[in-house]
Amino acid sequence: MAADQPAWWTRAVVYQVYPRSFMDSDGDGIGDLGGVLLHLDHLSDLGVDVLWLSPVYPSPQADNGYDISDYQDIDPLFGSLQQLDELITALHARGMKLVMDLVVNHTSDQHPWFLESRSSTDSPKRDWYWWRPPREGMAPGDPGAEPTNWQSFFSGPTWELDEASGEYYLHLFDRRQPDLNWENPEVRQAVHEMMRWWLDRGVDGFRMDVINMISKDVGPDGHLHDGPPLPGAALGDGSASYLCGPRIHEFLQEMHREVFAGRSDALLTVGEMPGVTVEQARLFTDPSRGEVDMVFQFEHVGLDHGTSKWDIHPLRLRDLKASFGRWQAGLADVGWNSLYWDNHDQPRAVSRFGDDSPGFRRDSATCLATLLHLHRGTPYVYQGEELGMANYPFRGLEEFADVESLNHHVHAVSAGHDPAEVLDALRYMSRDNARTPVQWDASPHAGFTTGTPWLAVNPDHVEWNAAAQRDDENSVFAHHRRLIALRHTDDVVALGDFTMLLPDHDEVYAFTRSLGGVELLVVCNLSRTPYRLAELLPEAPAAELVLGNLPDDDPAELRPWEARVLRLP
């Protein structure tokens, strides 16, 4: 590829498979690689370019595979290395690529590296993880003796006491996910070697889990700093010590040199980066710096959070515009955006940002998709999003499985919060909403398994399923197919400049994309209120319809949840 040619992924759309919930081929109730292989037609019919596979490595499954105990094998729960090879071959034969999940901020506490590290303070791998004595003047296990006051992402302190040595180890996530010490060059080399092994096997890149957390702000004497106290909590916010830490660019540049340099341009790297700012993202994705191709930023999925994700506030559309607009502008000349509503960590977008009541579900799902796919950046479709899958109607706590949700419930209730309110927040925001099995058809368990699904299937699958949508031109699936095709065929969609319109409008989201004399006007009504199009955007009525999400029968009115892509004369 010539240096002045836009990278291939500027025109690409990625589809995320969360294998546990995608398709079960062996009747154990848990999705697997055999299941992914069975449904590749679904992906090629949709037209996506890349499959990002959430972790399938051996794992005790404390965090559904984001706790890896062997980086170079496949968990028998999901299949075998041979099936992974088959998947690579099958995807490549269809012109698609495979991106693996790379979870190297932490391992499982069952990874041989950690078992060795934990075995003795003299272990040669002791320094592969973050071991620290109790706070000065305190004994191991004393309340508040943890080396720092940081609160874990999954509730409680980020430190777990190892009784045998009297030292604590760091875990930013669950206690079964100890953080690797990237300060140690042996750790970095081991990770690079493992990554090269996967690329040599034929995988086409990595989605890098919380990769902006690998560099911690550690003093020359090994000291880690307390963070400011969190409102209403005994613990503090340590994020300044581990989000985009002092050596993060150095580590990513080294990884790029050691793993990717000299390989094909056809690879893809995307760094998941909670808390990343536009300015930082510009550095991470500036191709001349050799770090990553794009990042997942979290600003837009935090707009409905208060003091935490469980403190839910309705989204204000003008905040979303300000945020997306800033990202579009900030990465316009240098760097690249990735675009997403949904993934395995977010509740379903149609229930969160759309309107999943029966009369508006299809229209709001297609409206949200249009809005997202017409931005500049690489869109990511999360399994089931292309079908308009919605949040699950959880009855009680016993229906949740996610470690983050369950830990939060324990901590919040023991801190005195009303259990009914805690449960309500889980119903709306829990990651389990995204993790219910994909709805393939109207049969029992939605065609996902012949056994008992590990997480309940949404009862709405009798109506909302792939079989019902595949041949229906009016379906959410068909609309996604058209959006994906548009990015492939229209340069302006892939590469055009972005200009936000109507920044203060509370219900209508509008923008233009322009490239080489071609100008698209995109207008999306994110409400049940009908609008006269000419009053909103006088130039709109004269424009030609490129793609819309509702039947094309009243050009003058922008109906509830209607989205139109128009070509300006």
The set of catalytic residues is: 209, 272
CB of 173 to ligand NOJ, least distance (A): 4
Pairing of strands 338-339, 294-296: unpaired
Q: Give the Cα separation of 260 and 461 in Å (integer).
A: 42
Position of minimal CB gap to ligand NOJ:
66
Q: Give the Cα separation of 469 and 440 in Å (integer).
A: 10
Complex with ligand NOJ: residue 105 or 525, whichever CB lies closer: 105
Residue 355 three-state SS? coil
In the region spanning residues 307 to 326, those forming contacts with ligand NOJ, defined by CB under 6 A, are none
CB of 107 to ligand NOJ, least distance (A): 10
Interaction pattern, residues 510-539, with ligand NOJ; x per rule: CB under 6 A: ------------------------------
Q: With the CA atoms of 27, 92, 346 and 233 taken in that order, what torsion angle do they form, in degrees rounded to the nearest 10?
A: 100
CB of 352 to ligand NOJ, least distance (A): 17
Q: Give the Cα separation of 45 and 43 in Å (integer).
A: 5
CB of 338 to ligand NOJ, least distance (A): 14
- 402 near ligand NOJ, rule: CB under 6 A: no
Residues in contact with ligand NOJ, counted by CB under 6 A, come to a total of 9
Asked whether the beta carbons of 282 and 335 are under 8 A apart, the reply is yes
- 432 near ligand NOJ, rule: CB under 6 A: no
Tell the residue number behind the tokens 């890098």, with chain if given: 208
Complex with ligand NOJ: residue 409 or 445, whichever CB lies closer: 409
Complex with ligand NOJ: residue 344 or 348, whichever CB lies closer: 344
Angle at the Cα of 52 from the Cα atoms of 51 and 58, rounded to 5 degrees: 125
Compute CA distances 272 → 269, 292, 438, 511, whole Å. 10, 10, 24, 27
CB of 505 to ligand NOJ, least distance (A): 33
Complex with ligand NOJ: residue 346 or 512, whichever CB lies closer: 346
Complex with ligand NOJ: residue 152 or 241, whichever CB lies closer: 152
Interaction pattern, residues 230-269, with ligand NOJ; x per rule: CB under 6 A: ----------------------------------------
Complex with ligand NOJ: residue 134 or 245, whichever CB lies closer: 245
Question: Residue 14: which of 396, 412, 337 has the closest Cα?
Answer: 337
Query: What is the number of alpha carbons within 13 Å of residue 244 lying toward its C-beta?
Result: 16
Q: Which of 169, 173, 310, 454 binds ligand NOJ (CB under 6 A)?
A: 173
Complex with ligand NOJ: residue 344 or 479, whichever CB lies closer: 344
Q: Give the Cα separation of 406 and 55 in Å (integer).
A: 21
- Both tokens assigned to 112: 């041989």
CB of 316 to ligand NOJ, least distance (A): 26
- 209 near ligand NOJ, rule: CB under 6 A: yes
CB of 502 to ligand NOJ, least distance (A): 33
Contacts by 80-88 with C-beta closer than 8 Å and gap 24+? Answer: 80/33, 83/33, 83/34, 83/37, 84/33, 84/56, 84/201, 85/201, 85/202, 86/33, 86/37, 87/33, 87/36, 87/37, 87/53, 88/201, 88/202, 88/203
CB of 343 to ligand NOJ, least distance (A): 7
In the region spanning residues 52 to 91, those forming contacts with ligand NOJ, defined by CB under 6 A, are 63, 66
- 434 near ligand NOJ, rule: CB under 6 A: no
Compute CA distances 339 → 10, 117, 184, 327, 377, whole Å. 11, 39, 34, 10, 6
Q: Which of 12, 33, 99, 103 binds ligand NOJ (CB under 6 A)?
A: 103
Complex with ligand NOJ: residue 103 or 320, whichever CB lies closer: 103
Q: Which of 345, 356, 385, 386 binds ligand NOJ (CB under 6 A)?
A: 345
Write down the H helix ranges in 374-518: 403-414, 419-429, 432-435, 466-469, 476-489, 491-495
Pairing of strands 563-567, 518-525: antiparallel
- 210 near ligand NOJ, rule: CB under 6 A: yes
Instruction: Return residues touching ligand NOJ (CB under 6 A).
Output: 63, 66, 103, 173, 209-210, 272, 344-345
